[in-house]
């Protein structure tokens, strides 16, 4: 990283904090990864994300919708069917998650030696 | 992301959480960025990371040392001079921080439209 002025430092920190905010917390990442394989219903996501309560899952899904990472589609059936899927913007997280995984693996090797 | 089995999902989540853990929290990122431009003394880092207390900075530096991201060098002078610097492993964070910044900028545009 070349010599950055103080203002450039701060301009750097804000977007990085935004990205960490979106992925941070106990459940967001697992919900995003669960949705990385196509649209799912609430019950399917709840099953894949072990340990999450219905209340927490609906809160996380609302947050992800607000952040335009997930879209919610209601199908006109009886009873109505609701599906959740990653938006194109949500799918743009795949590359970042891959980079985080790669660095996390490296970090484990360096710190734990395995 | 191709179809991943459940076990592969879990194997993915752990390293990503490790990476988020290292960069998470209020101060770590700012300390790492402050050290991205060469070795610095405690006072210099404290000045660059606005608002951090001495107690918090020494705690964060110890944590970064434990994680083998920062090294501490004591120069035999009177009084002794102590400098902190990123290790090679610490410098491997630059690429990840760059990716986080890029995605954070994109996210701002999508969500805030600017």
Best to test chain B binding among A3, A5, A10, A19 (most B CBs inside 10 Å): A19
Q: In a 3-state reduction of DSSP, which class is residue A39?
A: coil
At A80 the pLDDT is: 87
At A24 the pLDDT is: 84
Q: In a 3-state reduction of DSSP, which class is residue A1?
A: coil
Flag whether pLDDT at B6 surpasses 70: no
Q: How far apart are CA B87 and CA B97, in angstroms?
A: 16
Q: How far is CA B42 from CA B4, B20, B39, B88, in A?
A: 45, 25, 10, 20
Closest by Cβ to A111, choosing from B4, B67, B101: B67
**Residue range B66-81: mean pLDDT, rounded:** 93
At B105 the pLDDT is: 94
Flag whether pLDDT at B36 surpasses 70: yes
Q: B97 in a domain, yes or no?
A: yes
Q: A21 in a domain, yes or no?
A: no
| Mean pLDDT score across all residues of chain B | 89
**Segments forming the whole domain that contains residue A69:** 28-112
**CB-count burial class (<10 Å; 0-12, 13-18, 19+) for B85:** middle
Q: How far apart are CA A53 and CA B16, in angstroms?
A: 22
**Residue range B12-31: mean pLDDT, rounded:** 88
Flag whether pLDDT at B37 surpasses 90: no
At B26 the pLDDT is: 86
- Beta strands per DSSP E along A7-89: 70-75, 81-86
CB B107 within 8 A of CB A22: yes
Which comes out higher in pLDDT, residue B11 or A4?
B11
At B114 the pLDDT is: 65
**Residue range B63-87: mean pLDDT, rounded:** 94
Best to test chain B binding among A100, A111, A114 (most B CBs inside 10 Å): A100
Q: A79 in a domain, yes or no?
A: yes
Going by pLDDT thresholds of 50, 70 and 90, the confidence category of residue B106 is very high
Which comes out higher in pLDDT, residue B70 or A112?
B70
Which CATH number does the domain housing residue A101 bear?
1.10.10.10
Q: A23 in a domain, yes or no?
A: no
Flag whether pLDDT at B2 surpasses 60: no
| pLDDT < 50: residue spans in chain A | 1-3
Q: How far apart are CA A31 and CA B58, in angstroms?
A: 35
CB A105 within 8 A of CB B14: no
Q: B18 in a domain, yes or no?
A: no
Q: Look at chain A and report how many structural domains it folds into.
A: 1
Q: B63 in a domain, yes or no?
A: yes
Q: How far apart are CA B114 and CA B111, in angstroms?
A: 8
CB B27 within 8 A of CB B70: no
Q: How far apart are CA A71 and CA A61, in angstroms?
A: 9
Instruction: Copy the structure tokens of residue A91.
Output: 């799918």
Which comes out higher in pLDDT, residue B64 or B50?
B64
Taking CB atoms and an 8 Å limit, are B89 and A110 in contact across chains? yes
At A25 the pLDDT is: 85
Q: How big is the CA angle at A110 (ends B66 and B94), to the nearest 5 degrees?
A: 85
Q: A100 in a domain, yes or no?
A: yes
Give the other-Cβ count within 10 Å of A66's Cβ.
Answer: 10
Q: A14 in a domain, yes or no?
A: no
Going by pLDDT thresholds of 50, 70 and 90, the confidence category of residue B67 is very high
At B93 the pLDDT is: 94
């Amino acid at each position: 990283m070349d010599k950055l002025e103080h203002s450039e430092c701060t301009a750097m920190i804000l977007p990085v904090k935004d990205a960490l905010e979106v992925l941070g917390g106990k459940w967001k990442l697992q919900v995003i990864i669960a949705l990385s394989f196509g649209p799912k219903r609430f019950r399917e996501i709840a099953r894949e994300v072990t340990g999450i309560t219905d209340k927490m899952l609906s809160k996380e899904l609302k947050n992800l919708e607000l952040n335009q990472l997930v879209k919610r589609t209601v199908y006109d059936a009886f009873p109505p069917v609701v599906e959740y899927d990653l938006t194109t913007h949500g799918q743009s997280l795949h590359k970042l998650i891959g980079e985080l995984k790669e660095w996390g693996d490296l970090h484990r090797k360096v710190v734990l030696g395995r």
